[in-house]
Structure 1
């Protein structure tokens, strides 16, 4: 299917589409937990970056789907966060993770009663490989189309080079530590069939999710707004923190644009906010997004946890 522009409010998907049980409410029961070192890529970092002291935090086990709203689940992939939701024509996967983590997504889907062929679309918030690396393999396994913001889709197709982040002094050692531990995430995978998304394109026939072209993190970054669920998925504009807070994201091409995007995404008063890294915010997501944006001091690449 082709994503089509809309300004209309979305409606929720129907529960009969696939065998995934409907989830009501926005406060999820805790998933099985595992202790992981905060210094490993993909886990939650404190305000000064990776904790070299070996402190641990409790996160859901890799691949364990956590319900956030009706027909919306958070799936920690290991490197980052994926999200699944149901539309009338199938399942949508947001940011399936690094190469090889397509199996994590498929396992999460199976736990929910779904099958690979139930996946209709793979949406990418941006081209960095910790979010997009598994997309090509997942598309091959499922037949799903791959969608990304137009500028980032061009990078994935190999038509242009992605703009490197404008690292602050504080961000440089964090970026270098991630590169040493797991290799660069700034190499775009090749996805020849990646299709362009534009602002306010619908991400399914029911209008349950709408793409917002926000930029800031990369030139073509997109966020996803779900009006019926009162949920927003920000990608790497912001990040969840190990104390349950929300902080400004890392490694942006345009910090001012990112901050403006967070304020815009907070305006519809979402109840749930899901991030590219770290646990989602529930209950007071709008205020958390505003605080994350307002708490970014000039030159402070790691922002403040609030």
Structure 2
């Protein structure tokens, strides 16, 4: 068993620095390890709070990472400043365009909308992402994040000038706790119809426990899996109204084509939205330190087949369950990474 929280973070940092080196363009030491250290500490506590390590304060705003120096720090020009950290492997932290703000009702943070492409918005619900689709006449949400995030969803709906009952559909990529955690509360507030693959639906309807996984290959992945995955964790059950399977096209938000992508989870699906506009990938992979595997697999061979299946598709943009979206040229990037797996 790895030691206390600071020891865990130190080990993560040591491993990541050893593999990836430091960031260029940040004052002092701003390695990619800070990203994972903040992410997994946050996931372990299951709260969407700001993580604070050493002299950097990490801010999550819609999947962007921000390194804010304390007021005591002066850069080489002698001025105190907030600077962005740019990194390799497709990870770039930029100064926030949208700042989190406190929800006065329950103290949780509400995030302003982050547009992926027109009418599609990324919502960080804990350390997992949801996607909000606006068809004009109604709204659809893909995934429901960790527990306690219903206020973030309702705030996003209001920012679009809509009311909670405009959210008509709640579609799940799979049944894991970080994708169904706030589902029951969202349904209670909105009356949304729920959709899930029939393999995963029974577990969502009982709230767990969840099927076992094995960590994805790699030392960093094994460490992250140990911190993150809690298969015996129980969620509030959510009733699934409709089962969806490979080849279905849902008449929602201009059309959502269902693609079965087992491996990480036997009932996992991806959704191709409005033809080739955007893929909602779930956890077929992640885009944290560049494109990579999910945290773990129920069946890694199936997971690799699903990655190759996604690599054969055409789409302009992609949103992941974890990490940054790719807003253009997405299928080409994924093909280069996953086609030969």
Task: Quickly say closer, same or farther: Cα 1:87–1:201, change in 2 above 3 A.
Answer: farther
Task: Find the counterpart in structure 1 of residue 84 from structure 2.
Answer: none
Q: CA deviation at 1:107?
A: 0.8
Equivalences for 1:1-306 in 2 at 5 Å? Answer: 38-41=36-39, 56=58, 57-58=65-66, 61=100, 63-87=111-135, 89-158=137-206, 162-168=210-216, 170=219, 171-178=221-228, 187-205=234-252, 207-228=254-275, 230-242=277-289, 245-293=290-338
Contact 2:266–2:298 (CA<8 Å) still a contact in 1? yes
Task: Find the counterpart in structure 1 of residue 69 from structure 2.
Answer: none
CA–CA distance in 2 between the matches of 1:75 and 1:185?
26
Structure 1 SS opposite 2:283? helix
Contact 1:44–1:240 (CA<8 Å) still a contact in 2? no
Greater percentage in helix: 2
The TM-score with structure 1 as length reference comes to 0.71
CA–CA distance in 2 between the matches of 1:186 and 1:214?
24
Q: Deviations over 1:20-64 (max 9, x none)?
A: xxxxxxxxxxxxxxxx8532347999xxxxxx9767533665622
CA–CA distance in 2 between the matches of 1:228 and 1:284?
15
Task: Structure 2: give runs of 5+ residues left out of the alignment.
Answer: 1-33, 44-51, 59-64, 67-92, 101-109
Q: CA deviation at 1:108?
A: 1.2
How many residues end up aligned between the 2 structures? 251
Task: Quickly say closer, same or farther: Cα 1:195–1:225, change in 2 above 3 A.
Answer: same
Q: Which has the higher Rg, Structure 1 or Structure 2?
A: 2
Q: CA deviation at 1:123?
A: 0.7
Q: CA deviation at 1:82?
A: 0.8
Q: CA deviation at 1:187?
A: 4.0
Task: Quickly say closer, same or farther: Cα 1:160–1:137, change in 2 above 3 A.
Answer: closer
Higher relative contact order (CA 8 A, sep 6+): 1
Contact 2:140–2:252 (CA<8 Å) still a contact in 1? no
Task: Structure 1: give runs of 5+ residues left out of the alignment.
Answer: 1-35, 46-51, 297-306
Structure 2 SS opposite 1:151? coil
Structure 2 SS opposite 1:198? coil
Task: Quickly say closer, same or farther: Cα 1:221–1:43, change in 2 above 3 A.
Answer: farther
Contact 1:262–1:290 (CA<8 Å) still a contact in 2? no
Q: CA deviation at 1:132?
A: 0.7
More off after superposition, 209-218 vs 164-173:
164-173
CA–CA distance in 1 between the matches of 2:112 and 2:207?
36
